[in-house]
Structure 1
Amino acid sequence: MKNTTIIMLFVFFTMISCNTKVEHKKDASINAKPNKVVSKTITSTKTIKNSQWIAKLKIKDIEEIDFDGDGIKDYICKSIPNDEGQQKEYWINSNFKIIKNKVLYNDGRLYRQFINLDEDKEPEVFEVEVFEDGADYVILDQDLKNGKDKIILYYNPVIIENNNYYWGYPWDVTSIMTKKENGKVKLRCSLDHQIIRDGNEEITPKDQKQLPVIFFHGKHTQESNVDIITNIKWLTLNDIVKRIRK
């Protein structure tokens, strides 16, 4: 089965590899001021590396993850960065169809976790783009029919470790604090806090009254002062959105 999968991916990328240089050039002209990131995952996934066919097709690695929620592993394939520092990312479902693609850049870092938080089968994506002067922490809703992601909300990440609060740097986070109640997934969160963001983060999104705190499991690697957080609750994603929307 594994050999069959590799052969099918080889045929698939043989068909699209001829267009790779053209696509890179097109992406460079569209993104005059790109958000520069490189993908890095903190989910539990299997990466296929060091295969000869990957080297020939300039694919750096393949991440196996069920991103469409059908119970079958899909593939996120990342190319070797080109001369402009662009890295192509192909999201390919288990039927070997490109669902969406992204252009990443090699002078930043991108962290992701997948978890289903609503009624549709596709998991939502917790995504953090890390830049030299800050980071954006967002929850994305996937639209796999149109190949687009929509930002549901921006948030403040906080790790609870030994009953203490620490800023949730993505490299310190291990998992999202959730529980299932009455068939719905709820997030550990707070809408009452005194956290003030600095740097180049998205401080006041136009359609949000505030940035809620979302709690994570993790192990802090540096001390960080997290201001007062009160009234901690378990809320669904929809409940959080309703309470913070303008």
Structure 2
Amino acid sequence: MNCGYTISGEFCAHCGQKTDTTRITHISLIKNDILGSIWHVETRFFKTIKSILFRPGKTAMDYIAGKRIRYYNFISLLLILFSFNVLTLHFYEKFATKEAIPESSEVRTFFARYSKTILFIIIPMLAVNAFFIFKKVKLNLGEHFILGTVSLLGILVIFLLDDIVSFMGLWKPLSKITDIADKILFVLFILFPAITYWNAFKKSYSKPGLMVRVSILYVVMGIESLAIISVLYKIF
């Protein structure tokens, strides 16, 4: 082993290297090193997205509890999804007709320029506000940061789905269906943080108590978001 420790079992308990270190062949290189690595990364990637969409709060709480090997790194996933969103928006604007995209306005230009800033401010805002609103669960700021990250990951996945729906809507026969899908996705985007915190804390609070706290979180986040957007808009 690399670390020189005595081992028993399939992996070294000290450095994590596999005990199976037979000679590399062209077959083992393709099967284990290339295809195995790609399959492992892709499987975790899509399983993490699925978990975030269907049980966001449970996923965050599992990660906080130390059950992390099954999930793709949240920060890396955040950067990947944001890049995908930027690319899909770029190509949509490239292929859409002038009728599909309204003429540029100050508001549209503002959000295009500051979208990254606005989105990434969401995480610390959620973390700090939730730290005080959900004190009973006794999570620290770093752990609330993970919950905020999962909320934003879900929002970015919904944005990406909405971009795909918008692409489909460029074909006129599907426009009515995509309009309905777009409205559904918009509602999910608004509700996703609430779904995340409800899923995470439903065993820690009564339903009325949790509903009140989630409502307070939304009111506080709304006021803070308006204040930040107003400041950025004045600077812009």
Which is bigger in relative contact order (C-alpha 8 A, separation at least 6)? 2
TM-score (norm 2): 0.24
Task: Say which structure is richer in strand.
Answer: 1
TM-score (norm 1): 0.23
Task: Say which structure is richer in helix.
Answer: 2
